[in-house]
Amino acid sequence: MHHPFKVGFCFPKFLRRDKGESGTSHGVSVSEILAVRELDVDSGTKDDGRWQKMPQKSTEAYPYAFTVSYVERAWQHRWRCSDVTFHCLEGALCQQWVQTIREQLTALTSRPKHLLVYINPYGGKQQGERIYEQKVAPLFTLASISTHVIVTEHANHARDHLRTEAELKKYDGVVCVGGDGMFSEMVHGLVSRTQRDNGVDQNSPEEKLVPCTLRIGIIPAGSTDCICYATVGINDPVTSALHIIVGDAQAMDVCSVHHNNTFLRYSVSLLGYGFYGDVLADSERKRWMGPARYDFSGFKTFLTHHYYEGTVSFLPATDILGTPRDKTRCRAGCFICQHNGQLYSEDHQPLFLLPEYKGGWRVIRGKFLAINAASMSCACPRSPKGLSPAAHLADGTTDLILVRKCSRFNFLRHLLRHTSKYDQFDMTFVEVHRVRRFRFTPRYCQSDSELDLRENGKKLFSQICRDHPACSCSPAYSSWNCDGEILPHAAIENLPVGQPSLHSSVKGT
């Protein structure tokens, strides 16, 4: 029996014979095969109708062939779909190979078969629909994944649909095509629904959230795409689609944000007061500028140079491995996430909820240019290492970064370091703490009537300026930027829910 592909003892090893190469050895792991299909050599076409370049000699000598599509790793964490074609003399042997590979693929239970896809047509550069149709849908079809696609018609459409209507049992996962705001909608829809179905009260800061079982996949089509970038390593739609197809999963911390014991929102990336709150508030009025709005508002906010007075209280994470100044980075299978994540397993009461832990709170009063709580690195194309490069995706902690009032020049130095190899925390006016939970109270806050105060903000502001004629006229309040959404309250309590309660179909590579 003669056939040009060697059947090795190790199943995934093939001997490739295409593009005129003879006997090129090529190993593909089954877990990275996307699809296999028989090739109609005589007609010179594949069953998907695309022409296959094949040397005339091979076609005559080996009339049967099949093509394997698989994941090929490219530059900077990018993944691409590649094809390799194998030829042989016997149709039966060819079919045997195809059938065996299909059986192996079916046995991979972590791979999704049915997905619910939400597309935000207005995210980022408004390319969501095009990106999905041209780059992602053909890959899902190739991998035999069926989809139900919903193009959102208004903000919170996806959140409300997931929370109340979607027949989640029919799907192995949900996918959002958009930016961090769309991902946040998915998190809110799924987490809220899971808590409601399990009778958990979201308003109680002490209640442990029930983890979601459905995974969320992100096809990046937003302005910052920090969740995608920080988990996959790149914001590239094809790479993300391939991670989803092969069933990759990464647990993620979800924090809940409360005001006066009332639940406000969940956060997975950045909770920022001062600089990032002001950038967001200004940029929301300039959505028409697309992603460039952040640079414009960033520059403007940098020039205004407002600082905010208040009290930050936090519970340092003392029972964990790792610090925010570590040189190591959180990657798929991260040891620190595994270790610290166990502190939240079913039979472990999180230590920070024990009464003796209550004394561990630290209080810092001051004037801050920025208060940033990063539950993950917040790496994004603007800052490839992120706000807190050593933060962990699923360790149950948040890195609290306090940037005190300093000169514009020093603040610029601090910002610039987010884009270079230099340490942005190694500056006298910056401190960083890895925390379990934190609270913030603005100086002029009178807790329960704070909203009224904000409405009378102008009055208060002018009062402060009259009282301090030499002040730099910083307003009393900034806004909280919660994963790209403005929160209506300045005083908040934040607690990392801790347990890796969310899965995203992506992983760092």
Ligand X SMILES: Nc1ncnc2c1ncn2[C@@H]1O[C@H](COP(=O)(O)OP(=O)(O)OP(=O)(O)O)[C@@H](O)[C@H]1O
Ligand Y SMILES: CCCCCCCCCCCCC/C=C/[C@@H](O)[C@H](CO)NC(=O)CCCCCCCCCCCCCCC
The residues carrying an active-site annotation are 180
Identify which range of 12-20, 32-40, 49-57, 155-163 contacts ligand X by CB under 6 A.
Answer: 155-163
Per CB under 6 A, does 15 bind ligand Y? no
Which two three-digit tokens encode residue 24? 């090129």
Judged by CB under 6 A, which of 302, 361, 429, 461 binds ligand Y?
302
Q: Are 254 and 501 in contact (CB under 8 A)?
A: yes
Per DSSP bridges, beta strands 270-274 and 308-316 are unpaired
Residue 205: exposure state from Cβ atoms within 10 A (0-12, 13-18, ≥19): middle
Residue 192 in tokens: 């809220």
Under the binding rule (CB under 6 A), the answer on residue 412 touching ligand Y is yes
81 binds, among ligand Y, ligand X, Ca ion, none (CB under 5 to 8 A by kind): none
- The end-to-end CA distance of the chain, in Å, is 42
Beta carbon nearer to Ca ion, 253 or 278:
253
Task: Kindly state whether residue 483 participates in binding Ca ion, applying the rule CB under 5 A.
Answer: no
Q: Does 407 bind ligand Y (CB under 6 A)?
A: no
Tokens representing 53 are: 């370049």
CA distance 271 to 215: 23
Q: Where are the alpha helices (H) located in 152-268, listed in sequence order?
A: 157-160, 180-197, 226-232, 237-245
Cβ atoms of 79 and 239 closer than 8 Å: yes
38/129 with CB nearer ligand X: 129
Q: Is 501 in the site for Ca ion (CB under 5 A)?
A: no
- The DSSP output letter for 43 is T
Q: How many CA atoms lie within 13 A of 66 on its CB side?
A: 22
The full DSSP string for 438-505 is: EEEEETT--GGGHHHHHHTHHHHHHHHHHH-TTS----S---EEETTEEES-SSEEEEE--S--EEES
Among 5, 62, 118, 294, binds ligand Y (CB under 6 A): 294
- Whether the CB-CB separation of 447 and 260 falls below 8 Å is answered with yes
Applying CB under 6 A, does 370 fall inside the site for ligand Y? Answer: no
Residue from 173, 181, 322, 386 in contact with ligand X (CB under 6 A): 181
Q: Does 377 bind ligand Y (CB under 6 A)?
A: no
Site string for ligand Y, 131-170 (x = CB under 6 A): ----------------------------------------
Per CB under 6 A, does 383 bind ligand Y? Answer: yes
User: 292-304 vs 408-416: helix axis angle to the nearest 10?
Assistant: 150
Pick between residue 123 and residue 500 the one whose CB is nearest to ligand X: 123
Distance CA(167)–CA(51), nearest Å, equals 40
Q: Work out how close the CB of 294 gets to ligand X at its nearest, in angstroms, rounded to a whole number.
A: 7
152 binding partner (options ligand Y, Ca ion, ligand X, none; Cβ < 5 to 8 Å by kind): ligand X
What is the rounded distance in angstroms from the CA atom of residue 182 to the CA atom of residue 17?
44
Four-CA torsion 122, 123, 126, 132, nearest 10 degrees: -110
Of positions 175, 280, 343, 402, contacts ligand Y by CB under 6 A: 280
With beta carbons less than 8 A apart as the criterion, state whether 33 and 70 touch: yes
124 binds, among ligand X, ligand Y, Ca ion, none (CB under 5 to 8 A by kind): ligand X
Only one residue has tokens 């980075």, namely 329
Give the total of residues touching Ca ion (CB under 5 A). 4
Cβ-contact 379, 226 below 8 angstroms: yes
Binding of ligand X by 155 (CB under 6 A): yes
277 in contact with ligand Y (CB under 6 A): no
Cβ atoms 372, 276 nearer than 8 A = yes
Q: State the CB neighbour count (10 A cutoff) for residue 416.
A: 11
Among 223, 250, 398, 441, binds ligand X (CB under 6 A): 223
Choose from ligand Y, ligand X, Ca ion, none: what does 467 bind? Cβ within 5-8 Å by kind.
Answer: none
- The span of 113-121, 221-229, 387-395, 457-465 binding Ca ion (CB under 5 A) equals 387-395
User: In which residue are the tokens 């603007």 written?
Assistant: 382
Q: Which range binds Ca ion by CB under 5 A, 130-138, 156-164, 250-258, 451-459?
A: 250-258
Q: Does 481 bind ligand Y (CB under 6 A)?
A: yes
Residue type at position 213: T
| Options 52, 67, 85, 152; binder of ligand X; rule CB under 6 A | 152
The count of C-alpha atoms lying within 13 angstroms of the C-alpha of 508, restricted to the half-sphere facing its C-beta, is 19
Residue 375 in contact with Ca ion, rule: CB under 5 A = yes
By a kind-dependent CB cut-off of 5 to 8 A, residue 407 interacts, out of Ca ion, ligand Y, ligand X, none, with none
Piece of 10-18, 41-49, 126-134, 412-420 that binds ligand Y (CB under 6 A): 412-420
Among 16, 17, 159, 418, binds ligand Y (CB under 6 A): 418
Q: Say whether 36 sits in a helix, a strand or coil.
A: strand
Of 337 and 380, which CB lies nearer to ligand X in the complex structure? 380
Residues that bind ligand Y (CB under 6 A): 179-180, 224, 226, 269-270, 276, 279-280, 294-295, 298-299, 302, 378, 380, 382-383, 387, 412, 415-416, 418-419, 481, 483-484
Task: Give contact residues for Ca ion (rule: CB under 5 A).
Answer: 253, 375, 392, 395
Write out the residues near ligand X by the rule CB under 6 A: 120-124, 152-157, 178-182, 185, 222-225, 484
